[in-house]
Structure 1
């Protein structure tokens, strides 16, 4: 039986993590920047998870590339670039796709799959012959703990839009030990991920590991206020956010505001966080890269403006992240209490 052929466009932390697991059941192509690809050519890829599983894939078991043309003849392209690079990356791969190709977005934000579909429209004007663009969701953080070692540091199950053409990919993923579920309506899933992602900025502004930051009630109170603004808009939109914990999303802000012992006790079973875990936005600030704040608190602010209302806490967080981006290495590291006062909650 022919192995499923999967290309990862934007092989960074998430992309290398997915590719490393999938390589046991699929023919995997990693497309990324030269420094990462060069390192993998020498050492292969090592991936690990919270269950203690670890796998090293030697370089000869992977196809490694820095050019988008490497997606040619693959069955699935997993888009794992930063959200700001979605349109550019899609235009790069479009000439090498077939009409029956499937592009799955495993990116942050509410709009990635629609952005991919629109960008593909330039190369495939007829929707009937256009490659299929589907939404996916990765709920966990991945940290680069070695030059070519990527570790899952937060618990959670991946999801992807349910469609008959995605079934071979799901089978290959399950065969590789990746937990991926199909979902008929991804709107609620993506909104639920947005609620989770609102902590990225809080974590980045503090500069603390996630496990430390989440023990700070003031930090959690800021996150709760951001989530309440997003939940208000979800209700206006008629979207029911999917839960990422056993607690319904509408009740999570209450849990976040609970005293530290109560939060720790109630979240212990459902939220597993490795000591080294940090948000991807924290990594971006540390590396001097632009952040994805526009697809997180910025998305809440944009939705509020569209619907004739405001999201003042999220707007203030956007401002603080922009200031941190501009300051670079000299950016301020906020305590929870300072951050809470700065956003007015």
Structure 2
């Protein structure tokens, strides 16, 4: 954020008009207007009274407390790491604290240092009392980061605090942290932490149910990615790789007891790309067979406890519209001259 934006935001936050700022500084209103537009900058003699008026220090006015760039974060972490290795963990931690005091508003810096020093502490070879003392300081950083405005940092800190609580046997505390983390796919390990809590508290049935559901979700996610990878390779003109990925989908389905329909769809997509009528019809029949048969995911020992939502719609109800698409879509025009398709 550059100075003209800081001036404007602070002025508005304090409820001041440009006229009031101009009057306080003994200048014209158009001059303040030009500052906020970025056309000109305040005279150096006006900076101290301007900062006082806006209730900030000069460092803030100049934007020196803005968050650091990725390159700066990497450089600072490298410096702390080298200091800890060459001069000892105490020196590395002290250097990190000094840098944190220099950039007190940077959650990114604090988060990176917390992760770095936590890892270094594990191999520092300190006395137990020293290790505990440093661990508490790092945990205090995570507590602060757990309130960060940045979701990734906030949830990452809560994850680390939940992990620490589990390690200390404080399951209620771990559950509190875990409950604050959104149920989102970008934090998949939340489910593993929850399962650990269940297992350690002898809630084995709950753990098994959660793990089965997590497995099914993960496998379905992988399968969806592979479908998209088939599409991508077809778009690139690499049909051989698309066919290879389809074969991997078959292996995945076999390994994790997935519906045969999933395998048929993958090969059907490749056959359509190749305009191979015989193969298209063959895999289409496999798709129809799977859609007509009733197969519940709970039939597999891997997913016995999984709860599914029954929408009341059978897959066989999807067959008529699919047939209509096959008959009328230009994409499948090559099938119209195929004897297999009409038999």
How would you bin the TM-score normalised by the shorter chain? under 0.3
Largest Rg, 1 or 2: 2
User: As a proportion of its length, which structure holds more strand?
Assistant: 1
TM-score computed with the length of structure 2 as normaliser: 0.22
Q: TM-score, normalised by structure 1?
A: 0.22
Q: Name the structure with the higher helix share.
A: 2
